[in-house]
């Protein structure tokens, strides 16, 4: 699906484009979502550029993601999608600057795109260009990453309180399973946000270098430097959150080990407590002809009392030594 955005009546207006039609002459942004081969050909013929395939977009080497080709700048970054869902995803998005027009190629629907189209749809400068649109998108992407990190930080704090809550009355097995599942989801989201920020930081560095060659405006250079600082700061912060998630994981596994040790300790104590009575019962269960206690009236009660004392004494010793 192709949507051509133009500035009309002071607002950014999207016009659907089919492979059988042509792009409006005042188009400044061409948003390509899950394109077909015919849609790729339309954009390529209209702008004289090559549209990368999906396999080329997910390549990790910088030379494939960031390049200058035939006067067009190709920038590919990874954006976090569906961050509010249980399973967030990381999707590659390619930005192409050619002839003062911006082309975005994507196979998912990151929220920054909806935010930018909604904001500029309410009001857009008449002199808007592809370069300025790219800066708007990049700035919104960083802001969105910051929002995700803030929400992630709040979830980690709430999770920390749950882990160290000594008054929890729920079943411990279910509680620890829920905690581990929650830690895994937060860790996955943190790693995706960090990967996204790293890819965006590379874009900012590359674009700043190319901007020097293409004589970017002073405001755009300042904005790029600000975005670089923000990306670096957010990357450091999400790395700290990742370390905190690792600490919470270790703490949870430590609590699980303590619970397991308590269970094993109970079995060990029971074994020690029952060992002397078992020994006494074994002695009096032997089939010897001459056992004096067998002929006495008080023999059986005495054996029971001896077994009881033999069980109580080890238990008392364990309590006295504070092993229980």
Q: Is the pLDDT of residue 151 over 80?
A: yes
Q: Is the pLDDT of residue 211 over 60?
A: no
Q: How far is residue 21's CA from residue 126's CA, in Å, rounded to a whole number?
A: 25
How does pLDDT run across 161-170, given as a tens digit for each residue?
888 776 665 6
- DSSP state for residue 286 in the 8-state scheme: S
Question: What does the CA dihedral 183, 249, 154, 108 come to, rounded to 10 degrees?
Answer: -40
Q: Is the pLDDT of residue 75 over 80?
A: yes
Identify the weakest region by mean pLDDT among 44-48, 150-154, 158-162, 293-297: 293-297
Nearest to 133 by CA among 220, 71, 66, 208: 220
Q: Is the pLDDT of residue 213 over 60?
A: no
Identify the weakest region by mean pLDDT among 13-22, 33-42, 162-171, 241-250: 162-171
Q: Is the pLDDT of residue 68 over 60?
A: yes
Q: How many Å separate Cα 313 from the centre of its chain?
A: 54
Pairing outcome for strands 101-106 and 27-33: parallel
- DSSP state for residue 296 in the 8-state scheme: S
Share the mean pLDDT of the chain: 80
pTM listed for this prediction:
0.75
Q: How confident is the model at residue 313 (pLDDT cuts 50, 70, 90)?
A: confident
Q: Is the pLDDT of residue 324 over 80?
A: no
* 3-class secondary-structure state, position 79: strand
Q: How far is residue 154's CA from residue 88's CA, in Å, rounded to a whole number?
A: 17
Identify the weakest region by mean pLDDT among 26-35, 104-113, 161-170: 161-170
Nearest to 11 by CA among 155, 152, 117: 117
Q: Name the token pair of 270.
A: 């029971």
- Residue by residue, DSSP assigns 1-36 as -EEEEEEETTEEEEEEE-TTS---TTEEEEEEES--
């Amino acid at each position: 699906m192709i949507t051509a955005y133009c500035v009309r009546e002071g607002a950014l207006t999207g016009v659907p484009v089919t492979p059988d039609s042509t792009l409006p002459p005042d188009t400044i942004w061409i948003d390509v979502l899950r394109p077909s081969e015919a849609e790729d050909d339309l954009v390529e013929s209209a702008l004289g550029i090559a549209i990368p395939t999906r396999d080329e977009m997910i390549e990790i080497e910088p030379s494939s993601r960031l390049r200058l080709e035939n006067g067009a700048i190709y920038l590919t970054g990874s954006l976090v999608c569906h961050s509010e869902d249980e399973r967030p995803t990381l999707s590659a998005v390619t930005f192409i600057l050619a002839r003062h027009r911006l082309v975005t190629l994507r196979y998912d629907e990151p929220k920054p795109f909806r935010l930018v189209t909604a904001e500029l749809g309410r009001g857009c400068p008449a002199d808007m260009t592809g370069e300025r649109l790219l800066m708007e998108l990049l700035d919104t992407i960083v802001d969105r990453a910051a929002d995700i990190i803030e929400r992630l930080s709040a979830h980690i704090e709430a999770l920390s309180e749950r882990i160290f809550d000594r008054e929890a009355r729920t079943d411990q097995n279910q509680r620890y399973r829920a905690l581990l599942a929650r830690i895994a989801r937060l860790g996955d989201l943190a790693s995706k946000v960090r990967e996204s920020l790293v890819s965006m930081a590379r874009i900012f560095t590359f674009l700043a270098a190319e901007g020097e060659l293409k004589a970017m405006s002073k405001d755009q250079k300042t904005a790029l430097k600000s975005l670089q600082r923000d990306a670096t700061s957010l990357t450091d912060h999400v790395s700290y959150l990742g370390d905190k998630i690792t600490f919470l994981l270790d703490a949870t596994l430590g609590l699980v080990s303590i619970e397991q040790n308590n269970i094993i300790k109970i079995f060990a104590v029971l074994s020690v407590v029952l060992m002397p009575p078992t020994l006494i019962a074994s002695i009096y269960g032997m089939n010897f002809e001459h056992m004096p206690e067998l002929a006495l009236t008080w023999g059986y009660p005495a054996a029971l009392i001896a077994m009881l004392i033999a069980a109580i004494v080890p238990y008392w010793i364990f309590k006295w030594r504070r092993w229980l």
